[in-house]
Structure 1
């Protein structure tokens, strides 16, 4: 009997929709106030620009690797290929190891943010908030438990809701008549000193979190049509579109609400709409924001579910995760496991606790090591080996490593230690596993 295989059915439009819905999510609505508080002035727009610059630079690394190795699992394959047959086993194992923790954290963070923002409409209380966040994760798993063609259509529908929501927010600021005022005041009180650099670094941790997801298409590489072209295009289109939307949204909100209200608000976008159009319109806008958050969890869970599957199919992870649904051809065991862990995390943690933890655990292996792996692969095989090649190589790769290193430091000592601890534990488990199985590094 023929084993089920992944199908290449996701188009450029659908891939872009999946990326953009993953990127927006609840992040920009939650962290807008946090970024404004950290920067303490109209210069908070610089933090959003910094996040976009890093995303563009890092996307070049992902584009080269994604177009050349268009397979399910994304970074798992990139690390294995970049570091070669020996060290690559360790690096790819460490990626899957940290994914089993940070992927549910990403899913849970969006679900927690969803329940938090729902409090603007419904006073949920502690247990009500937990019920909503946990229920959201369960609903996402239910919707993803189907074939990829149906998921692609659902993604486009959810993406339309994202665009409608952002268009309303931006349009409200433009109609208010003072849209460009925050841009004119961006340098008010700005001093280029060590304090500004420190604030920008801390604020950029939050904005980078809001941009994460531009690479989601790489995790679905085995299901993308014309991957050598569509994977890079979908990432670069997604980042460009989201950058414009984020900057316009922040400018729009700052053109209506005073700085102190932005910094103190728990529902800043809802309050922005309330000032412009009243409480009923604000509730409708909040419902749309919840739609966006839901869409993000849907997209992120879809991409992450392919990573343990890819590793297991390669013989580097538990065999049970290599199973595909017998009729719908998707990795159902992987989906159910990650969804179950995300459900528990959504009940245990708060939104601000997971943002720094997500970045701290991912930066060393997924971002910095992956960029280094690209350089090693280029040295071994030459630049013509890649199906898509970045301009000005290796400058973007070097910049990506330096900036990610700065972001890692900005997550704080406790989160840095947590990330190092998780990685160290993964190394120990890998060598124990290798010794038991008789493998060699």
Structure 2
């Protein structure tokens, strides 16, 4: 693959995925979780978790800039004891949680479309969502440099939608309404507060997910040692400011009690309601159109990065080999893109049948086990196993950010069943990982790899550095 994605484009790809339609559809979810405008706690907590976890991504992405992101990190770190098990499990789970994240964007798009199309039936909404997924796959069927330019355009549209919402909110801002916290809003000794906090943290980190999108395209990023950490930190800092300003502004226009009614427009399309209350119906329609483009851009950026995950794994014989083929002309992973498009469509239909909150709980629990927690451990393992590895960026205050990230992910996972009663996201996530372990056994037996063959230790990036030094010395 060709390294043609620079800092600005990488940051734009991250932010397009991070902002997307997320805050437009989850502001009411956060208010429902906390039961009032103290929902701002969830946004702050999510930002802090994203930042400490982002530092984990920054060190790994700068030192191991390969296509596939976490797959590369787990492959390099855990090959010494468990062979190819951990990278295989990551790709196995990523084939579910990455497209599920994209499916939430499609659910949000259809939800806002109903504001412009009030008579839209449930069947029509389903067909529109499936059509959106198909359109994204078709647009991604091209060269990466043209995709990067298109991502910047979509990123600009996202910023326009966000800026319009913020300006409209603060030109008609009611501070007493925005900060009308109910009595006993924060009761640290009460169990219900911590359940609400865990639910809000889950929603918050969901909205920040995407700060790592460029990491999945590490083989296509220019100067990865410089670009990767900066794109992660810049995107998190910028989006954190945007979310806090948006949340407070919306609460200053729309009464939070209205958001508690899940059948109201304030719940399903709160940004449109803000624009209608402030600038009128026509302005609300225009900005709703921009939000639809923003939702589309988030799905676009997510599938762009996610489709690269199984490619590198298959190329290294850590996943099914069919995923290792590139398009003969445009040089993108064909089967990875198609497979994730199909799962995105299925996830969208699941979200329509259940709820957006359920979809978020399911995808986060699957993601936490193999990606989030294992990746925190990978930083320490690599520092011990490959101390000579060139690290253009080292985590600030190591190992504190990794410890804090691990605690945050454990809180999300531990409270998942209570936050989504009746759907058992913890049990489903464990079942999927168990199925992945079983698939690994059959796959490794077929490929005659560990534990049915020799354990192969291949320090790819460290060896490349050694060869580079030898070439310079020669």
Normalising by structure 2, we get a TM-score of: 0.88
Tell me how far apart the structure 2 counterparts of residues 99 and 71 of structure 1 sit (CA, whole Å).
16
Deviations 1:372-398 (A, max 9, x none): 111111122338742210111011111
Identify the match of residue 193 of structure 1 among 189, 194, 203: 189
The residue that corresponds to 2:364 in the other structure is 359
Identify the match of residue 202 of structure 1 among 199, 204, 227: 199
Distance 1:37 1:381, change over 3 A: same
Counting only pairs closer than 5 Å after superposition, residues 87-106 of structure 1 correspond to structure 2 as: 87-106=82-101
| Residue 315 of structure 1 pairs with residue 317 of structure 2 | yes
DSSP-derived class of the 1:120 partner:
helix
The residue that corresponds to 2:41 in the other structure is 46
The residue that corresponds to 1:135 in the other structure is 131
Tell me how far apart the structure 1 counterparts of residues 366 and 187 of structure 2 sit (CA, whole Å).
32
Tell me how far apart the structure 2 counterparts of residues 188 and 412 of structure 1 sit (CA, whole Å).
25
The residue that corresponds to 2:349 in the other structure is 347
User: How many positions carry a matched residue from both structures?
Assistant: 436
DSSP-derived class of the 1:315 partner:
coil
| Residue 246 of structure 1 pairs with residue 243 of structure 2 | yes
DSSP-derived class of the 1:427 partner:
helix
Q: 8 Å contact 1:82–1:88 — kept in the other structure? A: no
DSSP-derived class of the 2:378 partner:
helix
The residue that corresponds to 1:170 in the other structure is 166
Q: 8 Å contact 2:4–2:221 — kept in the other structure? A: yes
The residue that corresponds to 1:3 in the other structure is none
Q: 8 Å contact 1:80–1:91 — kept in the other structure? A: yes
Q: 8 Å contact 1:180–1:251 — kept in the other structure? A: no
Identify the match of residue 416 of structure 1 among 426, 442, 451: 426
Tell me how far apart the structure 2 counterparts of residues 266 and 346 of structure 1 sit (CA, whole Å).
16
DSSP-derived class of the 2:260 partner:
helix
Tell me how far apart the structure 1 counterparts of residues 256 and 179 of structure 2 sit (CA, whole Å).
14
Deviation at 1:407, TM superposition (A): 0.6
| Residue 23 of structure 1 pairs with residue 23 of structure 2 | no
DSSP-derived class of the 2:116 partner:
coil
Q: Which of 86-95 and 378-387 deviates more? A: 378-387
Tell me how far apart the structure 1 counterparts of residues 102 and 438 of structure 2 sit (CA, whole Å).
27
The residue that corresponds to 1:276 in the other structure is 278
Distance 1:88 1:29, change over 3 A: farther
Q: 8 Å contact 2:77–2:385 — kept in the other structure? A: no
User: Over aligned residue pairs, what C-alpha RMSD do you find?
Assistant: 1.8
The residue that corresponds to 1:158 in the other structure is 154
Tell me how far apart the structure 2 counterparts of residues 147 and 280 of structure 1 sit (CA, whole Å).
38
Q: 8 Å contact 2:37–2:180 — kept in the other structure? A: no
Q: Which of 274-283 and 238-247 deviates more? A: 274-283
Gaps of 5+ in 1: 1-5
| Residue 431 of structure 1 pairs with residue 453 of structure 2 | no
The residue that corresponds to 1:393 in the other structure is 398
Tell me how far apart the structure 1 counterparts of residues 425 and 172 of structure 2 sit (CA, whole Å).
41
Distance 1:88 1:255, change over 3 A: farther
Deviation at 1:116, TM superposition (A): 1.6
Tell me how far apart the structure 2 counterparts of residues 155 and 51 of structure 1 sit (CA, whole Å).
25
| Residue 263 of structure 1 pairs with residue 247 of structure 2 | no
Deviation at 1:354, TM superposition (A): 1.4
Distance 1:160 1:375, change over 3 A: same
| Residue 75 of structure 1 pairs with residue 70 of structure 2 | yes
Identify the match of residue 369 of structure 1 among 354, 367, 374: 374
Deviation at 1:263, TM superposition (A): 2.7
Tell me how far apart the structure 1 counterparts of residues 184 and 284 of structure 2 sit (CA, whole Å).
30
Tell me how far apart the structure 2 counterparts of residues 88 and 178 of structure 1 sit (CA, whole Å).
58
Normalising by structure 1, we get a TM-score of: 0.95
The residue that corresponds to 2:409 in the other structure is 404
Deviation at 1:18, TM superposition (A): 0.4
The residue that corresponds to 2:214 in the other structure is 217
Q: 8 Å contact 2:29–2:357 — kept in the other structure? A: no
| Residue 147 of structure 1 pairs with residue 143 of structure 2 | yes
Deviation at 1:284, TM superposition (A): 1.3
Q: 8 Å contact 1:205–1:410 — kept in the other structure? A: no
Q: 8 Å contact 1:79–1:88 — kept in the other structure? A: no
Gaps of 5+ in 2: 262-266, 419-423, 452-474
